[in-house]
Structures are given as structure tokens and as C-alpha cells.
Structure 1
Amino acid sequence: MTVEALTLTLVVITFGIYIYIGWWAKVKDTSNFFVAGNEIPAMANGAAIAADWMSAASFLSMAGLISFLGYDGTIYLMGWTGGYVLLALLLAPYLRKFGRYTVPDFIGDRYYSNKTRAVAAIATLFISLTYVAGQMRGVGIVFSRYLQVDIVVGVLIGMAIVAFFAVLGGMKGITWTQVIQYFVLIIAFIIPAVAISLQLTGNPVPQLAFTFSDIAESLSQLQVDLGMTEFLEPFTNMTGLNVFLVTLTLMIGTAGLPHVIVRFYTVKDVRSARWSAGWALIFIALLYLTAPVIGVFAKYNLIDTLNETDITEARDISWVSKWEETGLLTLDDKNGDGTLNFMNENSPDNEVMIDKDIIVLSTPEVAELAPIVIALVAAGGLAAALSTASGLLLAMSSAVSHDLYYRIFRPDATEKQRLAVGRIMIFLAVILAGYFGINPPGFVGEVVAFAFGLAAASLFPAILLGIFDKRMNRQGATWGIIVGLVFTLTMILLMRSVQVFGTETQVLENFLGVDALGIGAVGALFNFIIAFVVSRMTSPPPEEISQMVEDIRLPNITKKE
């Protein structure tokens, strides 16, 4: 059976399971729709958190970023994993003790203001929409290569599947679907890592093979010999300032992601929330300790396979020709010598251009692994993208239906009306997500990093101050969120290259040496400063709000959870 046939078979089987779970978990009330009735077991919730958080960026893009950025690519490992620890230890238990449906719900009640709630809901929409664009691009990449369909068709198929189980089952359906998707994606990630580790080093444990072999050093020297930057040399692609700020942005951005935070509301109590965090960290570590190995081994294999290879012979290789058809791999014999020269991707003489997002997907084929492994990786990539996309769609839906429609405009709305608005919003969000999947603003990892920047600059400071600063009031929180969000969004847009009248234009290269990926940390700093200054210049919050903050923080206070 061909790779394409095996992939189609696995996709049909896994999608069938996702659809069945969506039907099985169909809900009729808002509690199950928004927070799964607070009855998800801790271990299952940990797997769902891991699947929700490990998006197409983690599965598809991170190893590719490490392959091309080398040492500097560790910013994604440090930022995303460090951010999860920050969220699990510093914020999640307190938010669960507060016991609401969404992040804007917490912010609205903590800051006793529907205006602040509305601002937080708008920030949630911007963050989630930016994030989901990367997921839909991941879906399109997988389908366009392995099912040999147009990228538009691939995105539409993904939209239909996500819409089905999200609309029907809400958070309950999404959670149990994500549990299955986690195990699909982690098996799909680890099996090829083990296989390529055995092939290159004879050691079946990828992490040990990476540690005790000289593959990384060999790759580093190979890149130097080819005129590329040394793989293990720090700060060759980014300045030290940017490495620090991008890492910080990803960390605090992770701790401010509304679709991840809401997962801690789906368990019955604070103790379960803590156990969920622990299980999720274990599940996440399985992938994040494997990604650097795949990044290094894959880059070594690609150079070894394509460099100084006759271009005609290269195009006769099955995986090369099929990836060329997608436009994500380009071979160009620029000097006319008939052979390929694998050089730095930004070099004008480079004759092999590889999209960062295809490194993980192409690795099993480059290593000539069994077709079933190749198909499994494709199914894993889809699971990673769809699991996160579903969580983001529900975050957007709840921001509108619960935080804006119910809590602000129609507090007398019935359960039926709230569910109807929530489901309609998922359909609208799916359409927007599909558009950006077809017209992506960048590669998966980059787009997702922008979403983390928006979360870092808008929601994280408001949540942190809401828990640990009793003096913080609604005026400070509202203006902090607005300034952080507007500044960061504006800077990202100004520093992005866009087509203006057919010409590639970039208004700003950086902001005081900080690029678009790290600007969220600067936005967060502005948010903290504005929030602190404004709150101290205006009246303090009511006494009952200060007492509520004490209740959240003190473990000996009995409070309904």
C-alpha cells in the first residue's frame, strides 16, 4: 500500500474516532459546553491540556526552527516549557479556586467592571484568531502533501471536522477528543525519532543517542564547511537581547493563553487542577525532550541526502518530487553545474529551499522509514493542529457568547439562547480560521509566536496583578490591557513584510533592537507600568474585592469551587 493510501486510511480512522466522540459527548447545557461540567479526571485533563497546548507549532514547526536556527532555536524550548511551568505553579490553582468559565470572566469579576471584561474578551479574540491561523496552515500542509489535494480543500476538510465536534460537544467533546489526539500525536512523534536514532547511531533512545553521539558536532562542522553558520554557535541568527526577550515573551505568553487556562476549570477542584498540571508537564516533556533530537538528526540527514547530489537524480527521489509539488521544497541549480549546493537559507547561492514546517513531516521519508511510519506522522500532525484549533475556537466562542452576550448584553438569556450563540460563534470562528489557513501571515511557528506575544502583553499582566496585587483596580487593568495589546499588535504589523502595490514593504525592522517575536515582552512591560501608575492615581477597589483576592490566595479559606 502506498504512503498516500496508508495516510488516507489512518486519517479516516482517526477522524472517525474524533467525530464519534463529538457525537457521544454532545451537550445540552452551558456548564458542559464551556467547562465540561467540571468533571474531567485529572490525568485525562492533563492529556487534554498537553494536546491543547502542543499545537502544530510544537509538532510541525519547532524541530524545523531548531534545525535552521541551531542553538538559537532553543528559545522555543525554554520559552514554551518554562511558560507552562509558570502557568501551572503561579496562576492555574488560583484561577481554578476562583471558579469561573473563562479568563475574561475572571478579569471582569476581579476588576468589577464589564468594560474590563469586554476588553479582555476582545484580547482573547485577537490572541485566538492569530493562534488558530497557524493551526489551519498546518492542516493544509499535511493534506496538500499526503492526500494530494489542494491546500484549500485540505483546510476545508479540517474546518468541517473541528466544527462538528466543537459545536456538538463543546468543551466536553473537545476534551475527550483531545485526550485521543494527544496519544495519536505523541506516538507519531516518538516512533520516527526512535527509528532515525537507531539508523544514525544504533541507539534506540533518541535523547541518549543525541547526548552520547557526535551528530550535533558533525552537523555543526558540516555547516561550517558549506559556508553556513555553525549549528552550535550561540547568537548567530539572533542577538542576545532578542534571545532573552523572545524567550520571556513565549514564557509569559504561555501563562496568559485563554484556551489553555480554561482547561483548569474543567476539573472538580483545586487539587485536581494541580494534578492536571503535573500530568500535563509529564505528557509535554515527552515531546519537548524529543524535538531537539529530531531537529538535529533531520538537518543532518537532509544535508547528507541532497548536498552535491545531481539535481535530476534528486528529483527522481519520491519524497523530493512530491514535496516540490507542494511548493514547500524548491530545488534550483543556480550555477548550472548540475548538482545541488545546500547553503544558508538566506544566501543568494543556496539551491535548496526548505520550508521550516516540513522538517518533521519529511524526516521519515528522508530516512526511508516504513510507509506506515510516514502515514502515522501525518496523522499526528493533523491531531496536533486540530486539537489546538478546537480549543481556540471554543475560547473565541465563549468570549463572545458568555463574556459579551450573556455577562454584558443579555444577562437574562436562557441556557438555550446562550448555547445557540456559542455554536453560531464557533461556525463564524471556523470560517475566519479557514481564511487565515488558506492565506497564512507566516509559517506556523512564527504565527503562533505572535499569538503568544499578544497574550503576554495583554492578559498575563492583568491575571498576575489580579491575583497578587489587592490595590490593582479596574482603571489600571483596563488601560494596561489596552496599551499592551494595541502597542504589540501595531509593532508586529509594522515589522511584518507586506505587499504594497506589488512591492514588498517593511515599515520597521525592529523596535530599539527588539524584533516582532520578542516585542510582546516590551508590551507586557508597558502594561505593568500603565496598570500600576493608573491604579495608584485612582480610587482603590471596593473592600469586598480585596477580600475576594485574599480568599483566592489563602488555602485555608473555604470557598465554593
Structure 2
Amino acid sequence: MILTIGVLYLLVILIIGLFSMKHQKDMDTFYTGGRRFGPWLVALAISSTTMSGYGFIGLTGLVYEHGYAIFMIGIFATAGIFVSFLVLAKPMRRITQKFGALTIPDLLEIRYNSKAVRGITALAILGGAIGYQMAQYKALGNMLQTVLGVDYKLALFIGVAILTVYVVGGGMISAVWTDLVQMIVMVVGALIVFIGGMRMVGGMSQLNTELESINPDMVQAFHTTGPIGIFAFISYFFIYVIGHQGQPHVVSKFYMIRKLSMLKWACIIAASTYALTALLWFVGLYTRVMVERGEMAVPASPDLVAPMFIETFFPPLVAGIIFAAVMAAIMSTSEAFLLVASSSIVRDIYQQIIKKGEKIPEKTELALSRWITLAVIVVTFLLSLNPPDIVGWLGNASWGIFAASLVPVLSIGILWKRATRIAAIWSSSLGFIFSVGLYILKVKEIYVPALDTGAIALIISTVSFVGISLITKAESSPIFEEKGRQIEKGIESPASIDAG
């Protein structure tokens, strides 16, 4: 029954991907869907890609180990959705519509008049996307390994093969429509698990009593000892509230909405549905209690907590729906990252830097986009055969890379006229170097800082961005000049913006 439901779900996703192929005309439709989607589709695409396999699998495992403290990531990420909409949604949508940008580096080159800024941010996005995609693939392999009862590598191959068909074929149109289906499945699955599991453990009071008897820190927002202390709490604020604005797989969705007036509804929908799916993390708490009671075996890895709990305690029909929900979380983010990574290569590095903006025939650029997407899938698949870390920490590191490399140059730069090209180059470079370098030192246990490595890198990149901007010569930017001319002429109004 579990296998049947899983196969049916995957078939629906494949059909959507194959149907979307005929709507692909050029690079614009492949990467942005032609900017024609309403608030529900955009909102559910944002919430589903924010959750991801890292959220459903990785964070559930971390909740099992550390308790409620990990829930702060969900609370901060929900707040981060609101902050991203507030700071970035309108200016990004307005600028990209006016100047025809398709990617985040597209927008940044326009803002700073710099190919160097485009190249650096494109490489940072590519590097972070590969790391995050490894987290998704590891979660996908662990899930299908449990459902299909096969070896991890074979399970991973099956999952990636299905993902390849609908991402390479359908592009962003396929991704958005599958996100709609996947988010519905994710919300239903999370609610089933939350309610069913709460009944098993005897209610919230009983759950908290047993967790506190295991370890008092399990019921605290941060621990008195260990790696999830007050500095982790502060780090999560930086990475998930502020850092949400630097997640390219999420904020690039702002390009796709049909009208600016729809953004306020999309914001509410995205934050609400994300918070609902985060209820699945209670599986980590339920599992910890069941293991202590002796009613469940100890999971061999934190990444197997969710699959084991679902398979052990739920009837096959319900378990099949929940497994489909977890696969939905994994695949929705995988498709987004694959498109983000391939666009960095095709659009930002090849077309705009190597070919110097030369116009490419529509059929050629679409074919190239698909081939590069396929190449990224193959590379990340090979790297994921022996992944270096558990899903939760691998995903957290990638969030930090994006935050440090992109938040200052994008969020501050898009609103602050005084920001300069040189500051953007240094800030993005330092953010990427420090986020990756400090993470490697931490994994090797050469240097283990109190704050999360991504949070430290974000602070460094932000301070350098503001400081260097203030000591370098002010520069003009077309995004501010154009807006100024529109205001002078009296043509920038809510009606004209919505019409755009």
C-alpha cells in the first residue's frame, strides 16, 4: 500500500512535468515561468521550497537529538518569509519587470553595473546550491530506501531519475505546478502526523513531562550546555530571519507573480502553510519518547527518524500519504535548486560573461538550459552517493553560505543608493569564502566557534559591505535613476505598477 501510494504520487509529478514541456519556449519561461502566476501558486512555491527535505528529514532528526530548541529554526524561518516579502518582493518584481532580469545575478549586475558582481554571486549560488542539493538527495535516498526496501544508492538513483524527467522537461512551469500539488500533500501529511503522534504519546503535557525527564534541555528554547545554546539561538536569528532574503531558490519566486498587488496575499499564504508543515517536526519528539519507552528501536541515524516512525506506527494507507508528503518536500526544493544552479551557469556565466550578452536563438538557449540542468543533476547525484554530513547540518551550512554571500549585496544594495560596486565585490567574496572556510574548519574540528559559521560570515560580509561603501566613491545605478525619473514624471502609481 505504501509503495502503491508512493508510485501514484510520483506518476502525478511525472505527468505534470511532461505536460509542462510543451509550454517551454525560451530561457524566460524555463527559469521564471513567464511571470504569469497568481498569489497561491507563488506562495505555495515559496513555502514548499523553504521547507525542503532538509526541513522534513534533517530538522526532524535534529529535533530528536536536541528537542524544542530546533523549533526556533521554524519560528525564525516563518518570520524570515515575512521579512523577505517586506524588503525584497516589490523592488525585485519591479526591477526585473523593467529590465528583463531572469536571475539574482542578473539583477545585481544591473544594480552595480558590474560583470564581476554577477560572476561572484553566480559562483556563490552555484556552490551553495550544490551543497544544499546534496542534502536534498541524501534525504531522498533515505526516504526511498525505507519505502522501497532497497539499498541507499539504488533508492537515490530511482528518485533522481524521476526528478530529472520533470525538472529538465518542464522547467519552472512544471516546478510551480508540482509545488502546488506537493504543498497540499505536505500540509495534509504534517497534520496527520502531528495529531496521530500526539495521541500516541498521551498529549502535550505528557510529552513534555517525559522529554524533561530524559533531559531538561529538551523542552527549552536553547540549552544550558552543548551545541544548541544561546549562541545557536542567536545564530538561527541571523541565518533564518535575516538570511532568508539571501536564499535564491526562494526569493527568485518573486519574479514570477503576475501583479504586485498580489504579494500581500502571497506572503500570508506562504508563511501560514510553511508553519503548518513544520508540525511534522514533532515526529522527532514523539520518536524520542517512544525510544525511551522501549516501543521503538533506536534510529541508526537522525536522518532515519521520520521514515522509521511513520513506518512503525501508522497504517499503510496513512503511512503512504505521509511518505508522499516527505518526498514532496524533498522534490519541491530539489527542482528549485537545480533550476537556480543551471541558470547560474547558462545565463550568468555562459551567456552574460563568456558570450558577453550575445543573443542566443530561443531553441538553442532552451536546449542549453536543459542540458546544463541535466549536468548539474548528474554531478550532485555522484557527490551524494557518499554525502559528508547529516542532512540537517548540511542544509544549515548551505543556508549560511547563501545568507553571507547574497543578503548584503541584495537586500541592502537594492534599497541603499550609497552602496558601491567595490563593496559588493568584496562583501560577496568574503561572505562566500568565510562561510565555506569556517564550515570546513568546524567539520574538521580545527576551529569550532560559538556562533554558527554562516552567522559569522553574514556579519563579516555585512560590515564589509557597509564600511567599504562609505569609504569608496558613490556610483550611479540605473534602478535608482529610472525610479527617480518615473517619480518626477508622476507615472509611478499603484495602478501603473500593477499594470506592469
TM-score normalised by length of structure 1 = 0.81
Match of 2:362 in 1: 415
The number of residues matched between the two structures is 484
Match of 2:15 in 1: 20
Q: Is the 8 A contact 1:250 1:449 kept in 2?
A: no
Q: Is the 8 A contact 1:49 1:260 kept in 2?
A: yes
Once the two structures are TM-superposed, the CA of residue 392 in structure 1 deviates from its matched residue by 0.2
Q: Is the 8 A contact 1:29 1:415 kept in 2?
A: yes
SS in 2 for 1:255: helix
Select 1:69's aligned residue among 66, 75, 85.
Answer: 66
CA RMSD of aligned residues (A): 2.2
Cα distance change on mapping 1:544 and 1:263 into 2, 3 Å:
closer
Once the two structures are TM-superposed, the CA of residue 353 in structure 1 deviates from its matched residue by 5.6
Once the two structures are TM-superposed, the CA of residue 361 in structure 1 deviates from its matched residue by 1.9
2:462 is aligned with 1:523:
no
Cα distance change on mapping 1:128 and 1:298 into 2, 3 Å:
same
Cα distance change on mapping 1:551 and 1:64 into 2, 3 Å:
farther
Q: Which amino acid aligns with 2:307?
A: L
Once the two structures are TM-superposed, the CA of residue 193 in structure 1 deviates from its matched residue by 2.1
User: How far, CA to CA, are the matches of 2:147 and 2:412 in structure 1?
Assistant: 47
Q: Is the 8 A contact 2:144 2:155 kept in 1?
A: yes
2:352 is aligned with 1:403:
no
Select 1:356's aligned residue among 294, 297, 302.
Answer: 302
User: How far, CA to CA, are the matches of 2:479 and 2:35 in structure 1?
Assistant: 25
Select 1:217's aligned residue among 190, 209, 216.
Answer: 209
Once the two structures are TM-superposed, the CA of residue 92 in structure 1 deviates from its matched residue by 1.9
- Give CA-to-partner distance per residue, 1:415-471, whole Å, 9 cap, x none: 122212211111111012212322212111111100110011110111112122101
2:499 is aligned with 1:507:
no
Select 1:392's aligned residue among 323, 337, 343.
Answer: 337
Match of 1:346 in 2: none
Once the two structures are TM-superposed, the CA of residue 93 in structure 1 deviates from its matched residue by 2.1
Once the two structures are TM-superposed, the CA of residue 94 in structure 1 deviates from its matched residue by 1.7
Q: Structure 2 regions of 5+ residues with no counterpart?
A: none
SS in 2 for 1:433: helix
User: How far, CA to CA, are the matches of 1:551 and 1:61 in structure 2?
Assistant: 48
Q: Which amino acid aligns with 2:446?
A: V
Q: Which amino acid aligns with 1:215?
A: L
Select 1:244's aligned residue among 217, 229, 234.
Answer: 234
Match of 2:45 in 1: 48
Q: Is the 8 A contact 1:118 1:404 kept in 2?
A: yes
Match of 1:539 in 2: 473
Cα distance change on mapping 1:302 and 1:478 into 2, 3 Å:
same
Cα distance change on mapping 1:98 and 1:304 into 2, 3 Å:
same
Q: Structure 1 regions of 5+ residues with no counterpart?
A: 1-5, 202-208, 307-313, 315-319, 321-351, 498-505
- Give CA-to-partner distance per residue, 1:469-514, whole Å, 9 cap, x none: 10111111111100111011111011113xxxxxxxx322x13x33
Match of 1:114 in 2: 115
Once the two structures are TM-superposed, the CA of residue 552 in structure 1 deviates from its matched residue by 10
Q: Which amino acid aligns with 1:65?
A: L
Match of 1:349 in 2: none
- Give CA-to-partner distance per residue, 1:246-300, whole Å, 9 cap, x none: 3322322222111111111111122223322221112112112x24533322321
Q: Which amino acid aligns with 1:385?
A: I
Match of 1:285 in 2: 275
Select 1:490's aligned residue among 437, 440, 446.
Answer: 437
Percent identity for Structure 1 against Structure 2:
24
User: How far, CA to CA, are the matches of 1:303 and 1:550 in structure 2?
Assistant: 64
Cα distance change on mapping 1:552 and 1:140 into 2, 3 Å:
farther
2:218 is aligned with 1:231:
yes
Match of 2:80 in 1: 83
- Give CA-to-partner distance per residue, 1:534-558, whole Å, 9 cap, x none: 2233321126453246689997485
User: How far, CA to CA, are the matches of 1:200 and 1:243 in structure 2?
Assistant: 28
Match of 1:105 in 2: 106
Once the two structures are TM-superposed, the CA of residue 75 in structure 1 deviates from its matched residue by 3.1
- Give CA-to-partner distance per residue, 1:86-109, whole Å, 9 cap, x none: 212221222111123111111111
Q: Is the 8 A contact 1:467 1:552 kept in 2?
A: no
Q: Is the 8 A contact 1:108 1:117 kept in 2?
A: yes
Match of 1:271 in 2: 261
Select 1:453's aligned residue among 386, 390, 400.
Answer: 400
SS in 2 for 1:54: helix
- Give CA-to-partner distance per residue, 1:178-211, whole Å, 9 cap, x none: 111112222222212222223333xxxxxxx43x
User: How far, CA to CA, are the matches of 1:488 and 1:417 in structure 2?
Assistant: 36
Match of 2:179 in 1: 178
- Give CA-to-partner distance per residue, 1:352-402, whole Å, 9 cap, x none: 464222222222344x32122222222222111111101000001111111
Who wins on radius of gyration, i.e. which is larger? 1
Moved more, 134-143 or 73-82: 73-82
TM-score normalised by length of structure 2 = 0.91
SS in 2 for 1:412: coil
Once the two structures are TM-superposed, the CA of residue 241 in structure 1 deviates from its matched residue by 2.0
Match of 2:285 in 1: 296
Q: Is the 8 A contact 1:454 1:485 kept in 2?
A: yes
Q: Is the 8 A contact 2:90 2:260 kept in 1?
A: yes
